[in-house]
């Protein structure tokens, strides 16, 4: 077996965080990825947000984003509207049902973030952020 301790730890932390977030989102009847998309649309819908933007932000294939958006639309969280000036794309908008859970979503993610770094000192948090940003920029 190859020595992949760093990627194994990153994967383990990511998986544990995702499981905890999904469990916290259970009452909202959405998963953490759907929650992130709902929150992102709510924060950015005034910018002419389209599906391609989500694919870039969330590093997902267009088909994956399409499927997720269809589910969110079917469940009344968002809607896609064709603008008058461009019939080839659909702008994304949050609906009242989606807007009604954005605050809860943000609180869940805030708690998750707090849990993630709660055992670290302030200096360790600063250093961890610096290292993670460096890794992210290198990928």
What is the block-wise mean pLDDT of the chain (139 residues), using blocks of 10 residues?
86 94 92 96 92 93 92 95 82 96 95 95 97 94
Residue 89's pLDDT is what? 85
For the chain, the farthest-separated pair of C-alpha atoms sits apart, in whole angstroms, at 56
Residue 1's pLDDT is what? 56
Residue 48's pLDDT is what? 86
Run of H or E residues at 79 = strand 78-81
Whether residue 109 contacts residue 66, with contact meaning beta carbons closer than 8 Å, is answered with: no
pTM of the model: 0.85
Q: Which two tokens stand for residue 94?
A: 């949050």
Question: Exposed, middle or buried by CB within 10 Å (0-12, 13-18, 19+), for 60?
Answer: middle
Measured at the CA of 36, the angle between CA 116 and CA 109, to 5 degrees, comes to 30
DSSP β-bridge partners for residue 92: 80
Q: Which residue has the tokens 């890794």?
A: 135
């Amino acid at each position: 077996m190859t020595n992949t301790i760093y990627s194994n730890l990153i994967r383990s932390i990511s998986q544990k965080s995702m499981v905890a977030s999904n469990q916290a989102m259970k009452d909202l009847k959405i998963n953490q990825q759907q929650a992130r998309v709902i929150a992102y649309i709510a924060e950015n819908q005034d910018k002419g947000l389209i599906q391609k933007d989500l694919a870039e932000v969330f590093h997902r294939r267009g088909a994956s984003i399409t499927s997720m958006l269809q589910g969110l639309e079917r469940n009344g969280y968002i809607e896609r509207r064709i603008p008058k000036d461009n019939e080839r794309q659909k702008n994304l908008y949050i609906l009242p049902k989606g807007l009604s859970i954005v605050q809860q979503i943000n609180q869940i993610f805030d708690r998750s973030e707090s849990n993630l770094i709660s055992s670290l000192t302030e200096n360790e948090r600063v250093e961890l952020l610096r290292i993670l940003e460096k890794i992210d920029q290198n990928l």
